[in-house]
Amino acid sequence: MIGFLRGKLVAKRPPLLLLDVQGVGYEINAPMTTFYNLPDVGEVIQLQTHLSIREDAHVLFGFLTESDRIMFRMLIKVNGVGPKLALAILSGQSVDEFHRCINDNDTAALIRLPGVGKKTAERLIVEMRDKLPQLDAVNDSVAITQENSVPVRSNAKQEAISALCTLGYKAAEANKMVQNIAQEDKSCEDIIRLALQGKV
């Protein structure tokens, strides 16, 4: 229904971002793999989108690359995997890393992702193996490189903890994941990236 959105980045509150498209503000859920590559607030970006329609809400998901959107759409077709879990999987692993896990039958790496248990990991491997070659044919024409560092806010760690909780981690676990990360010169996105790397 909505293939892509192009507009000014107004706010970044992982996993939610706000995009101003000709005066209309769109709230968009995005994986951390997208947040890591976003430019500064105020810059113009284009996101590939997926609209999820539920009885109680219409939720918009956004991705910098077409391969991420394809992966998201593949994941939500797997039995037991909804949009929230698909977003958490894409936040914890890149498409290439996930591809490797599936090809190598690496259930251990998948289980380390929030919300993924042994049965779900096994189901992902079985159901996704035949679908992943589609990703190899995708030519990502959308690439945004972050050239300037994001200003660090005083509550960057707290925002990171909140984002990790939204992605499916327990509050105590999220706190533990970020407590040893030095905050100096680090944005919320940087802290989340380091926390997820430490988890894996």
Fold of 67-136: DNA polymerase; domain 1 (1.10.150)
Choose the weakest-confidence range: 83-87, 114-118, 123-127, 153-157.
Answer: 153-157
CB-based contact 28:17 (threshold 8 Å): yes
pTM of this structure = 0.69
**Is residue 143 pLDDT above 50, yes or no?**
no
Element (H, E) at 22: none
* Paired tokens of 71: 């992966």
**Is residue 145 pLDDT above 80, yes or no?**
no
pLDDT exceeding 70 applies to what percent of the chain? 86
CB-based contact 63:34 (threshold 8 Å): yes
Q: 85 or 133: which carries more pLDDT confidence? A: 85
pLDDT exceeding 90 applies to what percent of the chain? 44
The model's confidence at residue 76, banded by pLDDT at 50, 70 and 90, is: very high
Is CATH 1.10.3720.10 the classification given to domain 156-199?
Answer: no
What are 146-181's pLDDT values in tens digits? 333 333 344 677 778 878 877 878 777 887 888 778
* Ranges of CATH 1.10.8.10 domains, the chain: 156-199
130 vs 65, 74, 106, 116, 125, CA distance in Å? 21, 11, 16, 20, 9
* Ranges of CATH 1.10.150.20 domains, the chain: 67-136
* Ranges of CATH 2.40.50.140 domains, the chain: 4-63
- One-character DSSP codes across 96-149: HHHHHHHHTT-HHHHHTSTT--HHHHHHHHHHHTTTTHHHHT----------SP
What are 8-56's pLDDT values in tens digits? 999 999 899 999 999 999 999 999 989 999 999 999 999 999 999 888 8
CB-based contact 46:6 (threshold 8 Å): yes
Question: Counting every residue, how long is the chain?
Answer: 200
Maximum separation of any 2 CA atoms in the chain, in Å: 47
| pLDDT of amino acid 155 | 66
| pLDDT of amino acid 184 | 65
Cβ-in-10-Å burial (0-12, 13-18, 19+) of 91 comes to: buried
Q: Which residue type is seen at 121?
A: A
| pLDDT of amino acid 150 | 39
| pLDDT of amino acid 111 | 93
CATH number of the domain at 4-63, please? 2.40.50.140
**Is residue 105 pLDDT above 60, yes or no?**
yes
Q: Which of 142, 156, 166 is nearest to 190 (CA)?
A: 156
